[in-house]
Structure 1
Amino acid sequence: MFCRSAAVSVISLLSGLLVLAFIYLVKLKFDLYKLGKSKRGQKNTQPGFYSLHDDVSGFPNKFFLQQQSEQLLLRAPEQSYSLLLIKISRFAQINQLLGHSNSNLVLAQIAQRINDQLETTEQALTFEFRQQHPIRLCHLGGVDFAVWLDSSDKPHLAEYLADNLEKNVPEAMIVHGCTVDYRPQCGIAHYPEHGSQLNELLERAYLALQHHSGLQGKSQVFTADMLHYTSDRLALMAALRQAITDGQLVLYVQPQIDMQSRQVLAGEVFVRWRHPTKGLLAPAEFLQLAEEMGVIYPLTQWVLNEAVSMMATLKQAKLDCKIAVNISSKDLLHDELIDSLEQLFDKYQVKPQQMMLELQESALLANPPKAMSMLQRLHRLGVELALDDFGTGFSSLAYLRQLPVQHVKVDCSFINELHKSDMHSAITGAIIDMARNLSLGVIAEGVEEVEVEQKLLRMGCSRGQGFLYSRPFELGGFAVWLKQWQQNETKSP
C-alpha cells in the first residue's frame, strides 16, 4: 500500500514538474518573441539606406540633406553656407521620348555626371564615399538636385560651380538611337543671409532658378526683389489677356528667300507687344510665360487670324507667297486648332497650301502620339510643316522619318558662325545632307553675310532667312515690300 502511494506521489510530482516546465517554456518563448518584436521595431525607427537615398538615382535624398545640414548648423552656426539648387530642364520630353524606365536611367547618369564635377570641391558637404569617391550631390526628388557648400572662405564658390555645371555637364547622350539633350539650370541661396532653415533656403533658391532661367543672363543668386517676381508675372499675363482684345499686339514679318532665284518664298511672322508702360516687347519677353500660364492659345488664335488675313491680302494683290507661323507644343495638342484653321481659311477664302506652320522638336515630345496625329491631320489639310531650330533638341533620325514635315530649319546659332567654325560647318553640312536624303527642304536662319549665303548654296541649301535680305518689319507693309522686292530683282542684271 505504501509503495503504491509512494509511486502515485512520485508520478504526481513529476507531472507537476512537467507542467511547470511547459509553462516556463511557453513563457520563455513568449518573452523572446516580445524581445525580438521590440528590437525589430527599434530597427525600423532608425534611418536605413532606403530612407536616406532616392530610389531612382540612388543618391542621398532631401531627408539626408536635412539631417546633415542641421548637424552642421548646430556645430557651427556662425559659418557661411550656400545652397546650390540644380534642375534638369527638358526632362519631360525625355520621359515622353524614352519611356519611364529609360528616362530614370538617364536621370541617374546625369546625377553621376554632376557628382563627378564636384569631385575636387572639398567645400561641398560629403554624404558618403562609394569606391573611395565622395558623394556630394543630393537628389531632392523629380529632376531637382542640391549641393550644400561651406562658403566661409569662398563667398562666390556657388556661383562658380553653377556656371561650371551649366556649361560643362550637359554633354548629349545617345539612347536607343536618340540624341538626348538636357540642360542643368541653377539657383543659389546663402545662409544666413537668405534664410536660417533648409526649407527657407530651398524656396529662395527655387525663386533664383526661375528668375535665372526665365530671364537669360540674370544671376543665379537670390535677391529680395525676386519675391515680387511671381506676382509681376501674374500681372503681366493678366495684362496680356487684355492686350489681345485692346489691340496692343502687332505682327512683324521676315522674308524667306530662294538664294538662287531671289524669289520670296514665304514670310515668317513674329508677334510684338506694344505694352503701355514697358514699350515694345519682343516674343522672348512674354511667349514662354504665356505658354506656362495658359495664355498661349488665345494669343495663337489672334496671330493665326492676322496671318490668314494677310494671306488674303497677298492673294488679292496676286502675290504668290506663303505665310509662316510658329506654334507651341500646347497649340499643337489643342483639338480645336484644326477646326479654327479651317474656319479661317473659309472666312478669308484662301488655300491652306499658302500657310506654313513652324514648330520646335520639343513640341513633338510632350505627347508624341497626339502630336503625330495632329501633324498628320494638318498635312491632310494641306498646310506645309517645318521643324524649327533643328539640331538643337532631341534629334532622332528614326523619329524624323515618320513626321509629315516638308522642311527643317537650321538654327541661327550654327549659321552665324558657319564660315568661322569648322564644327558649325560640319554640323550644318550633316543636317543638310540628312534632310536631302529624306527629301526635306532646308531653311537656314540667321543669314547675315554674302559669304555665308554662298557657302550654304555650295552645301546644297537654297532657302535662307536673315538680315542679309531684310530685318523684321510690320506685317501690314509686307505686300508693298514684296512688290518692291520683285521689281528690284527684275531690274537686276
Structure 2
Amino acid sequence: MLAGRMATFRSWALGAAILTLLYALYASADMREVDTATGRVDLNSDIEYLVDNEDLSLSQVRERGRWQKNTEGSILNLGFTDVTAWVRVILQIRQPLDGQWYLSIPYPLLEEVDVYLFRDGQSVPFYQVSRQTIEKQRKQPRSYKIALPLPENLNGEVELVLRARSATSMQIPVELQREDQLLNHFAMESVYWGVYFGILCALVIYNLFLFFSLRDLAYIHYVLYLASISLLMLSLSGLGNAWLWAGEPLLTRYLVPVGTALVSFCALLFAHSFLEWREISPRWEISMKVAAGLAGVLLIVTWVDPLHGALFAGLLGSLVIVLLIAVGIAGLRAGVTIARYFVLAWTSFAAGTSIYLLSVFSIVPVGFVANHAMQAGSAAEVLLLSFALAHRIKDERARKLSAMRKQQLAERQVQDLEMQSLEQAMHDSITKLPNTSLLNQRLQSQLGKDDRLALVLVEYPQVREIASSMGHNLAEEMFCQLARKLNHTLAGLSGPVCLEQRLPAYIAIPEFGSAVFVLNLSKLVGPLEPFVEQVVGYHEVALHSVRLPVFMNLHCGVAISPDHGNTTEILYQHASAAKDRSQTSKTPVQIYNEGISDFARRRLDLLTALPSAIDAGEIELYLQPQMNRTGQELVGFEVLLRWHSPQFGTVPPWEVIEIAENAGLMDMLSRYVVDQACKVMQTLRERELDLTCSINLSVQNLTNSHFVPSALAGIREHGIPMDRIIFEVTETSMMHNMEAVIGSLLRIADSGCKIALDDFGTGYSSLAYLSRLPIHELKIDRCFISQMCSSRNDLGIVQSTLKLAESLSLETVAEGVEDRQTMEALNDLGCDRLQGYLFAKPMPLEAFCAWAQELSAN
C-alpha cells in the first residue's frame, strides 16, 4: 500500500514538473528580451492586444485574458473607432536600463494613454503613468510623439500593459527609446516640419505681397488656404500639442474636423477666383456652393459631436479633393492653361491624403511613408499652386504686353489710314473724280441758297457683271470711260452743279459702278425725268481699241430738295431708296416718294431680321399633300416656307425668297429648309407615313459648289432614304450658268435623290436641255391646270406635256387641282400625282399628321 502511494506521488510530481516546464517554455516564447545597446527597441511584433467594448477595468482585463497576438508584426491599427484598446507585452530586461527610458507611441492622435508595469505576476502594478498626468506636470521632453517615462534602472521580467483611447483613428505603435534617441528623433522631425512650415510661411508672405500689389482676390484666398492647412497639419502631426496646446490632447479632437472644414472652404474660394469658375460651367458653381455648405455643416457637427465630426471631416475632404480635380480637368478642356498646374497640385495632395487615410482606416500598412504622405502631398501641392500663381502673373503680363503691342500697332495703322484718308478723302481711287465727301460739302453749301436741287444717283449693273465675268481691270477701264463721258456730257449742259473747279468735275463716285450728280432745277430746261434718262442712258466706250456701244440697264434714283429732305444724308438716303425701287420695278429713272421709303425700310428690316429668324426657328415648314392619280391615296408632300414674324406678321414666301437671293442668304436658308425637311421626314416615318418629300432649290443653290454636297450629307446623317427626297428646280434656273447647274443636278441624281422640273412650260424653253438633264419628274404649272377644263388651249398643253413625259419615262405632277372635274380629267389623261386645294391647303406638321390619319381612317 505504501508502495502504491509512492507511485502515485511520483506520478503527480512528474506531471507537475512537466506542466512547470511547459509553462516556462510558453512564458519564454511570449517574453521579449530587451537589448538596450541601440537605445531603441521596437515592440510591435511582440505585443498582444484586446479591444474593450465593455469599459473593463485593469484587473478585469488581466483576469479574462482574451488577448490576441499581433501576428502581422506591423503597427497595430484598429481603424476609425472610439473604443478602448489594451496592449500587453512581457519584457525580459537582463541588465538595468541605463539612463532615462521612455515608452514611445509615435501617434499623437491618441487622446488617452495609461501605462501599467507588473513584476513577477503580481496583481497590483508597481508603476503606472498616464499621458495627461505627464503633460500637465511638464515631465515629458518635447516630442511630436507620446513619450511616457519608465522607472530608472528597470530590470528583470516586466509585464507592460497599456490602455489607449481616441476619438479618431486608433493606431498604437509601441517602442522603447532612450532619452538621447528620443531627442535625436525630435530634432530630425523638427527639421522636417521646420522646412515644411518654413515653406508655408514664405508662401504666405510672398502671396500677401502679391495681393497688396495686384489686389487680386486669388492671392488672399490662397493665403487663407495656407493658414487653414497649417492648422490642420499642426493638429495631425502633434506639432501643435508639442508647442502650442501642450497638456490639452482633447483639443485635437475639435481642431482636426475644424481644420478640415476651413481647408475645404478656403480651397473652394481659391479655386473659384483662380480658375474664374463661371467661365468654365455654371454647374461647377453649384457644386462649389454645395461643398462650401457641407463645410459649414461640418463646423456645426464638430461643435455638437466631435467624434462623428472627425469621420465626416475625412469624407468631406475626399469629396472636395475629387471636386477640385474635376474642376481643374474641366478648366483644361475649356482652355484655361494654368489649370494644368491646378490639376497636378490637387492630384499630388489627393495621393498623399489617400495614402494617409487608407492607413487610418487600416487598409494599407502604417509606416513612415503613410504617416508623412499627407505632409509630402500638401507640400507638393502648395508649391505647384505657387507655380500656377506665378504662371498666372506671367500670363497676365504677356496679355498686357500683347495688348499694348496690339494697341501700338493699331495706333500706327490708324495713323497710316488717316494719312491715306487725307490723301484720298476727296477723290475716288479709280476714276480720280470727287467722292461723296466732296459731294457732301458742295451739296451742303448749295442747300443753304434756297434753290431746288435734285440729287441723281446712277448705278450701272453691267460694270459689276463685266468685273465678275471678264475681269476687274477691264471693268475699271470701262467704268472710267463711262464716268469721263458722263462728266463731259454734264459739263455741256445747263443745270448740273460743278463739284470741283480744278477738273472741272460734275459727278462724284460713291462706289464702284455708281455715280452721283446734282442738278439745279431752276436752270434746267424741260422735264426732269426725260432729261436724266437722256443724259445717263447711252454712252459709247472703246475697249482694247474696239468701239463698243453700251446701252446700260441702269438704275437711277432721284431725290429733290427741299421736297424730299433738306440735308445731304436724307437726300442721299432717299435717292438710294429710289434707285433700289428702280431696280425692282425695272423703271430707268425713279423719283423718290413716301411709298418708296416705306417699302425700302420694310425690305431693309426684313433683310436684317431674316438671319436671326432662321436661327430662332421662326421659319416654319408647311406641308402640302400630293395624292395618287385617283386622289384617294397620300403618296408625298411638298415643303413650303412660312415666316410668321412677331415683328412683321406673315411675310409672303416670294418676298422671303427674293430677300434671301438678293442678300446672299439663300445658302443659309436652303440649308435650314433641308435640315428641317429631314426632321419632318423622321417624324413621319416614326408615325409610319412613308412619303416622298419635295424641296425647292434656288439657282444660287445649284451654282454654289458647296451646297449640294452639304445638303446630301445632311440627308444621310438623318438616315433618310435618298430615293424619298425630290429636289425641285425651275426652268428659269437652267439659264444661269448652265454647266454649273447641270453638274449640281448630276451630283444629286448620282446620290439617289430625284429631280423635278417645276413650273414646266412657263419659263424659257428647256426642251433642248431635257436630254442632258437628269430629270425624273415634270410638274405642270397651275396656270394650265386651273383652266384646262374651260380652255382648249390649256387642255392641249397639258395633254402634250403628259405625252412628252410618257415618252421620256418621266413622272408627272399636276399643281393647282381645285375641283373634282379637273381631278377626273387628269386621271383619264394619266397624270401620276395630283396636288392642290381640292385635297388640302399647306399645313403645319402636326395638322398634316392628323389629316393623314383621318384620310387613312376613311
Determine the structure 1 residue equivalent to 2:799. 429
Q: CA deviation at 1:69?
A: 11
Q: Does 1:392 align with 2:802?
A: no
What CA RMSD, in Å, does the superposition of the two structures yield over aligned residues? 4.0
1:365 aligned to which of 732, 735, 741 = 735
Q: CA deviation at 1:203?
A: 6.7
Change (3 A) 1:83 1:265: farther
Q: Does 1:290 align with 2:660?
A: yes
8 Å CA contact 1:388–1:411 kept in 2: the answer is yes
Determine the structure 1 residue equivalent to 2:715. 345
1:208 aligned to which of 561, 581, 594 = 581
Trace 1:61-80 onto structure 2 (pairs within 5 A). Answer: 70=493, 77=524, 79-80=526-527
8 Å CA contact 1:324–1:356 kept in 2: the answer is yes
Q: CA deviation at 1:452?
A: 1.8
Q: Deviations over 1:293-330 (max 9, x none)?
A: 11111111111111111212222222221111111111
Q: CA deviation at 1:140?
A: 6.5
Q: Deviations over 1:367-391 (max 9, x none)?
A: 2111111111111111111011111
Q: CA deviation at 1:359?
A: 1.1
- Rg comparison, structure with higher value: 2
2:613 aligned to which of 243, 266, 270 = 243
Q: Does 1:313 align with 2:683?
A: yes
Q: CA deviation at 1:71?
A: 7.3
Q: Tell me: higher relative CO, structure 1 or 2? Use CA pairs within 8 A at least 6 residues apart.
A: 1
Partners of 2:649 and 2:686 in 1: CA distance:
34
Q: Does 1:252 align with 2:622?
A: yes
Q: CA deviation at 1:260?
A: 2.0
Q: Deviations over 1:397-427 (max 9, x none)?
A: 1201211011111111222222222332232
Change (3 A) 1:222 1:383: same
1:277 aligned to which of 647, 652, 658 = 647
Partners of 1:476 and 1:400 in 2: CA distance:
38
8 Å CA contact 1:361–1:387 kept in 2: the answer is yes
8 Å CA contact 1:237–1:293 kept in 2: the answer is yes
Deviates more, 1:381-390 or 1:457-466: 457-466
Change (3 A) 1:194 1:238: closer
Partners of 1:85 and 1:253 in 2: CA distance:
49
Partners of 1:436 and 1:235 in 2: CA distance:
47
2:551 aligned to which of 129, 141, 151 = 141
Deviates more, 1:70-79 or 1:232-241: 70-79
Identity percentage of aligned residues: 29
Q: Deviations over 1:46-104 (max 9, x none)?
A: xxxxxxxx9xxxxxx99699679957999994754544999xxxxxxxxxxxxxxxxxx
Determine the structure 1 residue equivalent to 2:228. none
Q: Deviations over 1:166-223 (max 9, x none)?
A: xxxxxxxxxxxxxxxxxxxxx999999889xxx9999776433345379xxxxx8742
Q: Does 1:444 align with 2:444?
A: no
8 Å CA contact 2:629–2:826 kept in 1: the answer is no
- Partner of 1:417, secondary structure, is coil
Q: CA deviation at 1:242?
A: 0.5
- Partner of 2:770, secondary structure, is helix
- Partner of 1:239, secondary structure, is helix
- Partner of 2:771, secondary structure, is helix
- Partner of 1:284, secondary structure, is helix
- Partner of 1:392, secondary structure, is coil
Change (3 A) 1:192 1:255: same
Determine the structure 1 residue equivalent to 2:669. 299
1:325 aligned to which of 695, 699, 705 = 695
Letter in 2 for 1:303: V
TM-score (norm 2): 0.35
8 Å CA contact 1:188–1:208 kept in 2: the answer is no
Partners of 1:380 and 1:256 in 2: CA distance:
25
Partners of 1:140 and 1:189 in 2: CA distance:
26
Letter in 2 for 1:277: Q
Determine the structure 2 residue equivalent to 1:487. 857
Partners of 1:426 and 1:269 in 2: CA distance:
29
Trace 1:135-214 onto structure 2 (pairs within 5 A). Answer: 141-144=551-554, 206-212=579-585
Q: CA deviation at 1:482?
A: 1.8
Determine the structure 2 residue equivalent to 1:415. 785
8 Å CA contact 2:780–2:813 kept in 1: the answer is yes
Partners of 1:284 and 1:84 in 2: CA distance:
35
Partners of 1:191 and 1:424 in 2: CA distance:
53
Letter in 2 for 1:209: S
Q: CA deviation at 1:445?
A: 0.9
Partners of 2:842 and 2:531 in 1: CA distance:
40
8 Å CA contact 1:392–1:411 kept in 2: the answer is yes
8 Å CA contact 1:359–1:387 kept in 2: the answer is yes
8 Å CA contact 1:252–1:272 kept in 2: the answer is yes
Q: Deviations over 1:427-452 (max 9, x none)?
A: 22222222222111121111111122
Letter in 1 for 2:582: L
Change (3 A) 1:211 1:190: farther
Q: Deviations over 1:270-315 (max 9, x none)?
A: 1111211211222112211111111111111111111111212222
Partners of 1:140 and 1:317 in 2: CA distance:
61
Determine the structure 1 residue equivalent to 2:752. 382
Partners of 1:200 and 1:300 in 2: CA distance:
32
8 Å CA contact 2:727–2:756 kept in 1: the answer is yes
Determine the structure 1 residue equivalent to 2:123. none
Q: CA deviation at 1:233?
A: 2.6
8 Å CA contact 1:416–1:446 kept in 2: the answer is yes
8 Å CA contact 2:815–2:835 kept in 1: the answer is yes
Partners of 2:524 and 2:708 in 1: CA distance:
61
- Partner of 1:435, secondary structure, is helix
Aligned residues: 334
Letter in 2 for 1:424: D
Determine the structure 1 residue equivalent to 2:842. 472
Change (3 A) 1:452 1:190: farther
Deviates more, 1:253-262 or 1:322-331: 253-262
- Partner of 2:643, secondary structure, is strand
Q: Deviations over 1:81-134 (max 9, x none)?
A: 544999xxxxxxxxxxxxxxxxxxxxxxxxxxxxxxxxxxxxx99x9xxxxxxx
Change (3 A) 1:363 1:232: same
Q: CA deviation at 1:364?
A: 2.4
- Partner of 1:402, secondary structure, is coil
- Partner of 2:750, secondary structure, is helix
Letter in 1 for 2:672: W
Determine the structure 2 residue equivalent to 1:401. 771
8 Å CA contact 2:670–2:697 kept in 1: the answer is yes
Q: Which runs of 5+ in 2 are unaligned?
A: 1-461, 463-481, 496-519, 538-548, 566-571
Q: Which runs of 5+ in 1 are unaligned?
A: 1-53, 55-60, 87-123, 128-138, 147-186, 215-219, 489-493
- Partner of 2:818, secondary structure, is coil
